[in-house]
Amino acid sequence: MYLSGVGIIFNIGRYTRFIATVMRKPDKWTIFRRQLIQEMTIIGTDSVGIVALLSVFMGAVMCLQTAHQISGWIPVYTIGFTVRQTMILEFSPTLIPVILAGKVGSNIASQLGTMRVTEQIDALEIMGVNSAGFLVLPKIIAGFICLPALVVMSMGLGLASGAGIALLTGVSSMADFEYGLQVDFVSYDVVYAIIKTTVFALIMTSVSAYHGYFTSGGALEVAKSSTKAVVYSVVIIMLTNLVLTKLLLT
């Protein structure tokens, strides 16, 4: 169903309507604010640990790998340069959202899926609450705010850990590494990274929410939705990455 032509058109149509419903004005701002803070804790604060860990290791590994590959006429500052370019252009803005799609996306989909199959979403609707907006908008906004922050943190930690490992292992001097970090630096790259991240944040939260919200059946279907949420988020993030890179960098 999903991959047939009709299936794709059906899902795109339903997704568009879903997002239109989600984007309506919240019924009560005080409640929305409280939910937003809750979601920011789940999506943002609770992800700091894993993002920090991955970034530190990634920066260090990039540094060592580049050092391993350069020899002869390739200047040593290439190490700092490569760590910078990888972290800022790809690892932080793309892979961090992909990893969070696994952690946060499956959480969103299974929460909404459970609420659907236990009729909690119907209960909201019957009270006159816009259930899609009520449940999903705080998640989307929280993703919008938290993901860029996490990604900037990831960039910083990656570069710092690259520098750290370079000094520790002696593959590069601080001066060379620093020169590498600064050479040919275009600040637009960071802007590009942030733009990508916000788009990926929207994809991750909304695609996962979509799959959870339209679950039907029981516990088994909730599990399926949560898998689909992750798979589709990742695939769509990757496709969008290709398109955005082409649009923004060339």
Partner 1 sequence: MIEVKNISKSFGKHTVLKNVSATFEKGKVNFIIGRSGSGKSVLTKCTVGLLEPDDGHVFFDGRNFTTMNRRQRKEIRKEIGMLFQGGALFDSMTVEENVKFPLKMFSDMDEEAMSSRVADCLTRVELDGHGDKYPGELSGGMQKRVGIARAISMNPKYLFCDEPNSGLDPQTAIVIDNLIVDITREYGMTTVVVSHDMNSVIEASDTIHFIHEGEIAFKGDNAEMMVSDSETLNDFIYASKLMRKLRDKSSK
Which residue, 94 or 114, is less far from partner 1 as judged by CB? 114
Which residue, 129 or 145, is less far from partner 1 as judged by CB? 129
We find the least distance from the C-beta atom of residue 220 to partner 1, in angstroms, to be: 16
Which residue, 85 or 120, is less far from partner 1 as judged by CB? 120
Residues making contact with partner 1 (CB under 8 A):
27-28, 31, 118-120, 122-123, 125-129
We find the least distance from the C-beta atom of residue 204 to partner 1, in angstroms, to be: 22
Whole-angstrom distance, CA of residue 167 vs CA of residue 177: 9
Of the candidates 240, 82, 88, which has an alpha carbon nearest to the alpha carbon of residue 155?
88
Which residue, 81 or 213, is less far from partner 1 as judged by CB? 213
Q: Is 145 exposed, middle or buried (0-12, 13-18, 19+ CB in 10 A)?
A: middle
Whole-angstrom distance, CA of residue 46 vs CA of residue 142: 12
We find the least distance from the C-beta atom of residue 173 to partner 1, in angstroms, to be: 54
Whole-angstrom distance, CA of residue 115 vs CA of residue 209: 12
Query: Distance between alpha carbon 78 and the CA centroid of its chain, in Å?
Result: 28
Largest Cα–Cα separation, the chain: 72
Which residue, 82 or 208, is less far from partner 1 as judged by CB? 208
We find the least distance from the C-beta atom of residue 193 to partner 1, in angstroms, to be: 34
Residue 223: count other Cβ atoms within 10 Å of its Cβ: 15
We find the least distance from the C-beta atom of residue 130 to partner 1, in angstroms, to be: 9
Whole-angstrom distance, CA of residue 140 vs CA of residue 201: 8
